[in-house]
Structure 1
Amino acid sequence: MRTAYSVETVRTAERELMARLPEGALMQRAAAGLAAACADLLGRVYGSRVVLLVGSGDNGGDALYAGARLARRGAGVTAVLLNPERAHAGGLAALRRAGGTVAGAGQGEGLVARADLVVDGIVGIGGKGGLRPEAVPLAVAAERSRAAVVAVDLPSGVDADTGEVRGAAVRADLTVTFGTHKPGLLIDPAREYAGSVRLVDIGLELEAVPPELEALQHADVARLLPVPGAESDKYRRGVVGIAAGSARYPGAAVLAVSGALRGGAGAVRYVGPAADAVIARFPETLVSDQGPAKAGRVQAWVVGPGAGEDAATVAEVVAADVPVLIDADGLRLAEPAAVRGRTAPTLMTPHAGEAAALLGVSREEVEGGRLAAVRELAGRYGAVVLLKGSTTLVASAGGQGAVRVNATGTSWLATAGSGDVLSGLAGSLLAAGLSAVDAGSCAAYLHGLAGRLTADGAPVGAHDVAAGVPAAWRDVVRGG
């Protein structure tokens, strides 16, 4: 499992480690890892032109010491100092001894335009609110240049703790981060500024500290996925109920069922007005026209996809004493007090627009502060919340503890009906016995991977994604 820790936690761990090491040793570890990553990116260090964008913090020191290492290998290294009086003295001396040169910010744009590699050491992990005005032209020049851009620990201008970008920021091709991932490297919008991320171990001891974020990997998901035993039958494996679709949106029911059939439960019950469409496509589905309460026993319900204005069905499902997933129209129709009053697990799966409506804020506010939004929703409703998007977040009921983040998807998943498939898949995992957090996390992982494998760089429809879930499941179980 990949984990990410807050700035405060990282700084505490750094202080504890520095107290046991010779002075400057920790920075040298970071600089050595940074220089190695830069060299790998350059391919040929000798004769290359490297520009360091150096601020006043320790990230500037890391950049200067790494630049010195590259200069000793024959690179032409120039440090552009944004605040010369506050540049790291030891790093600056090391760079000069190695043959590197120094320039003022006014020369920076021209140097960046001719560089092979630009190292962003402008702002450290404590930076807030975007770049200062004097740094913006350098960030713009780096983005427009042909140079590869490497960020030190985190792209300057993004918020390490929240993933927010409140102003201009550096766009990196590679971010070399030290000790542990920071939340901003895993959450959009900041994640898209980071490029590829390379973690350098500098010896931080964080095992006993709860992380801010967790990102499941193949092995983690494989351990959670249900596997039928020799004595299993369709009922022991779990039955998921799908209350979805309407006369206007029958396809939502079909797609939710398609995801549910591939999610590990032994059977799928469907309740709603799209029974004919569901049976025509998936004859193995158990259908009922008697409403959720008379549909037969289920271990979990999915309600809301394509439900239109059917508030009565949503209310009936929310009142059930089994785990319930609420999606799409169900999020709008469910009474907040009824959701908060549930004793069985609840999983809500909004996209940014739906989350904004539930919180009473703009969609832009949710998209710009996804971590805060998912925690707030989970706290207000006392439910597990899966916030869909380019990086899907899953917060535990109440909003406390580590948030799960998933980035297996592809932009091709932004297609009609994709969320319906995800809901059915997650509901099936709920019925198979997974907790709401694990069901949401594993469903997001498989759904994203199925989208990526199926698309392979080309457009896909939601039905293609559902059909790709078995391949994604096998890929996870077999270890990729």
Structure 2
Amino acid sequence: MRSAYSVETVRAAERELMARLPEGALMQRAAAGLAAACAQVLGRTAGRVYGSRVVLLVGSGDNGGDALYAGARLAKRGAGVTAVLTAPEKAHSGGLAALRRAGGREATTAEALASRLIDAADLVVDGIVGIGGHGGLRGSAAPLAERAAAAGAAVIAVDLPSGVEADTGEVRGPAVRADLTVTFGTHKAALLIDPAREHAGAVRLVDIGLDPWLPERPELEALQHADVARLLPRPGAESDKYRRGVVGIAAGSTRYPGAAVLAVAGALRGGAGAVRYAGPAGDAVLARYPETLVSDGGPRRAGRVQAWVVGPGAGDDADTVAEVLDVAGEADVPVLIDADGLRLADPDVVRSRTAPTLLTPHAGEAAALLGVDRAEVESARLAAARELAERYRATVLLKGATTLVAAPSGRDGTAPVRVNPTGTPWLATAGSGDVLSGLAGSLLASGLSARDAGSVGAYLHGLAARRGAVGAPLAAQDIASAVPDAWRDIASGS
């Protein structure tokens, strides 16, 4: 599992570690890891370190020091290294002295912008601003980032791309776009959450010894194959279809029968033993999936279930949404609310539920629930997911390029927000969310918590989309069809 911590937590851990190390040792550890990453990139792009041209964009903080010491190591290996100092009087003195001794040179930002220095580089290292920066790049730093983006050189960010918000993933102004970010000690939220994640490129974590001083509970976490494998429901020798869980699907309408078919498709592949469907699209569901238990008497007469999914393709059928919430409340079973259900459900009923509730909005639906513009949600996804979870007292799966799963605070505080790493842009296709709803609802019915069902569902959904697409467009049905292969990949550890 990948974990991300806040700036405050990282700095506290660094202080604890530095108190036990010789002065400057921690920065040397970071610089060594950074230099090794730079050398690997230069080996791929320039063929070797010796004779390559490296430009360091150096600010006034420790990130600038890391870049300078790493540049000194590269200069000792024969690279031509130039440090562009955005604040010469505040540059890290020890790092600058080390670079000079190694044969590196300095340039002002004005000199760099007036020449082809950056354009001719094989590698640009971004050490302008560290994890404590706020707002976009200002002054001469902004045109330096713009020049680096326009040049043909590879760009490596030190710890975090300059100009992004470390704790939130927001990008409030000009920011560096890196091909690789070399981060130290632990991941930062901005490396996992859009829109900042798009600026980070690939991410390499360098161990500098912080782990003993990092708390057990991070701010964010991203599941990996082994984590998901431990959560996947598996039938035992005594299992039957009812012991494995039954999921109820109240989805679709005469106008949108396909939503019901797709939600059922996801549910059938999510680990529950049976799927009950209650809605007006029963004929379409049975024509595609005859194993579905179809009821024409509405949710109340559908039979016993261990979880409900309501909302996909419901149109304006507020009565069915209200009935599902009523029936689920009487039986005290979890409910997943998606799509039209998010608009039609009574917020007070959602907040008052005692059984788990999982809301699965995209950015537009989240904006409507919060009463803000969509752009506000997209620019501050972490804050939006957390606010929704608290406001509705429900677990929230906020869909998007990076899907977030946030649980409301409880007696023991708030569990880390989970970030799903498996998505692909090909998931932006009609009906994919319906498949995810059925899949996550089935995992709910099989006994997973709302947080685990949302996280595992998103992980499987993204992985299935990758398998189904393989670089080409795919339809929602293709995602559902690829779920078993994704499940097998995870379960086998491949």
| TM-score, reference length from structure 1 | 0.99
Any idea what the Cα deviations from partners look like across 1:5-40, whole Å, max 9, x if unmatched? 000000000011111110000000000000000001
Aligned to 1:309: 316
Write the distance in 1 (CA, Å) between the matches of 2:325 and 2:142: 50
Is contact 1:380-1:398 (8 Å) kept? no
Any idea what the Cα deviations from partners look like across 1:168-204, whole Å, max 9, x if unmatched? 0000000000000000000000000000000000000
Write the distance in 1 (CA, Å) between the matches of 2:386 and 2:436: 21
Is contact 2:252-2:258 (8 Å) kept? yes
> 1:133 is paired with a residue of what secondary structure?
coil
Alignment of 1:452-467 (within 5 A): 452-467=466-481
Aligned to 1:343: 354
Q: Does 1:160 align with 2:160?
A: no
> 2:248 is paired with a residue of what secondary structure?
strand
Aligned to 1:362: 373
2:74 corresponds to which of 67, 70, 76: 70
Aligned to 2:441: 427
> 1:53 is paired with a residue of what secondary structure?
strand
Is contact 2:10-2:214 (8 Å) kept? no
Write the distance in 2 (CA, Å) between the matches of 1:301 and 1:207: 39
Write the distance in 2 (CA, Å) between the matches of 1:174 and 1:426: 33
Is contact 1:375-1:398 (8 Å) kept? no
> 1:283 is paired with a residue of what secondary structure?
coil
Alignment of 1:35-434 (within 5 A): 35-43=35-43, 44-109=48-113, 110-204=116-210, 205-319=212-326, 320=328, 321-398=332-409, 400-434=414-448
> 1:112 is paired with a residue of what secondary structure?
coil
User: Which letter does structure 1 place at the counterpart of 2:418?
Assistant: R
Is contact 1:390-1:407 (8 Å) kept? no
Write the distance in 2 (CA, Å) between the matches of 1:193 and 1:449: 23
Is contact 1:384-1:398 (8 Å) kept? no
How far did 1:254 drift? 0.2
User: Which letter does structure 2 place at the counterpart of 1:312?
Assistant: D
Is contact 1:381-1:398 (8 Å) kept? no
Any idea what the Cα deviations from partners look like across 1:32-68, whole Å, max 9, x if unmatched? 0000000011101000000000000000000000000
Aligned to 1:14: 14
How far did 1:459 drift? 0.2
Is contact 1:34-1:176 (8 Å) kept? yes
User: Which letter does structure 2 place at the counterpart of 1:126?
Assistant: G
Any idea what the Cα deviations from partners look like across 1:109-147, whole Å, max 9, x if unmatched? 321101000000000001111101311111111111110
How far did 1:409 drift? 1.0
User: Which letter does structure 2 place at the counterpart of 1:165?
Assistant: V
> 2:354 is paired with a residue of what secondary structure?
coil
What root-mean-square deviation, in Å, do the aligned CA atoms of Structure 1 and Structure 2 show?
Answer: 0.8
Q: Percent of aligned positions with the same letter in both sequences?
A: 79
| TM-score, reference length from structure 2 | 0.96
How far did 1:209 drift? 3.8
Is contact 1:153-1:177 (8 Å) kept? yes
Write the distance in 2 (CA, Å) between the matches of 1:19 and 1:214: 28
Any idea what the Cα deviations from partners look like across 1:332-379, whole Å, max 9, x if unmatched? 000000000101000000000000000000000000000000000000
Write the distance in 1 (CA, Å) between the matches of 2:179 and 2:287: 48
> 1:425 is paired with a residue of what secondary structure?
helix
Write the distance in 2 (CA, Å) between the matches of 1:433 and 1:401: 19
Is contact 1:351-1:387 (8 Å) kept? yes
Write the distance in 1 (CA, Å) between the matches of 2:415 and 2:447: 22
Write the distance in 2 (CA, Å) between the matches of 1:126 and 1:464: 44
How far did 1:107 drift? 1.9
Write the distance in 1 (CA, Å) between the matches of 2:485 and 2:220: 27
Moved over 4 A (4+): none
User: Which letter does structure 1 place at the counterpart of 2:32?
Assistant: A
Q: Does 1:3 align with 2:3?
A: yes
How far did 1:401 drift? 2.8
For structure 1, list consecutive stretches of 5 or more residues without a partner in the other structure.
none
Is contact 1:383-1:398 (8 Å) kept? no
Write the distance in 1 (CA, Å) between the matches of 2:121 and 2:415: 44
Write the distance in 1 (CA, Å) between the matches of 2:140 and 2:100: 24
For structure 2, list consecutive stretches of 5 or more residues without a partner in the other structure.
none
User: Which letter does structure 2 place at the counterpart of 1:191?
Assistant: R
Is contact 1:213-1:405 (8 Å) kept? yes
